[in-house]
């Protein structure tokens, strides 16, 4: 099911974050240069390590301080594999009228026709997805509730296939 892939994606993001943080603290205990200490401290404060720039910094420091990143690479490769599967599957959502689909670790967002916005919130601890369809301009009313309800059903069917 696509839903399971999305939940796996979010879980792997958390694993990636945890493993990155473990490596960062291991690096921190071995630091020998002030400039390295400043960069490591900024990574600790940022606390989100998916972005390729941060991961390349972590990998560079791990190499410099001879810290193994095998587990990090394994998690990252699985994460990217799931991401690619989801991006391929999301092309099917475009047939339902979704555009500008953005996949994030905690939500999926897209624009809809009729000035609407879709957000699929990912709740890892509950292993649940929540579909939210709302106007792009807050405070406006949804003019076509039948369209919204029909679209919500189609998205739920897509996620459960």
* Cα–Cα distance for residue pair 161/4, rounded to 1 Å: 10
Does the pLDDT at position 82 exceed 80?
Answer: yes
- pLDDT at position 83 is 93
- pLDDT at position 54 is 87
- pLDDT at position 50 is 57
Report the SS3 class of residue 53: helix
What mean pLDDT value characterizes the chain?
Answer: 90
Contact present, 130 and 123 (Cβ < 8 Å):
yes
Does the pLDDT at position 139 exceed 70?
Answer: no
Using pLDDT thresholds of 50, 70 and 90, give the confidence band for residue 137.
Answer: confident
Report the SS3 class of residue 75: helix
* Cα–Cα distance for residue pair 75/51, rounded to 1 Å: 14
- pLDDT at position 51 is 66
Angle formed by the axes of helices 34-46 and 52-64, to 10°?
140
* Cα–Cα distance for residue pair 78/13, rounded to 1 Å: 10
Contact present, 115 and 135 (Cβ < 8 Å):
yes
């Amino acid at each position: 099911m696509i839903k399971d892939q999305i939940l796996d994606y979010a879980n792997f993001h958390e694993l990636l974050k945890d493993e990155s943080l473990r490596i960062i603290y291991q690096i921190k205990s071995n630091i020998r240069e002030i400039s390295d200490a400043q960069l490591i401290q900024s990574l600790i404060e940022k606390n989100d390590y998916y972005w390729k720039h941060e991961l390349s910094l972590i990998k560079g420091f791990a190499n410099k301080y001879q810290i193994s990143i095998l587990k990090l690479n394994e998690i990252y490769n699985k994460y990217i594999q799931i991401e690619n599967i989801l991006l391929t599957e999301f092309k099917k959502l475009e047939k339902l009228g979704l555009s500008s689909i953005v996949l994030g670790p905690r939500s999926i967002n897209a624009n809809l026709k009729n000035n609407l916005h879709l957000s699929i919130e990912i709740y890892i601890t509950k292993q649940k997805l929540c579909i939210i369809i709302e106007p792009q301009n807050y405070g406006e009313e949804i003019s076509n509730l039948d369209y919204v309800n029909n679209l919500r059903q189609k998205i739920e069917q897509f996620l459960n296939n």
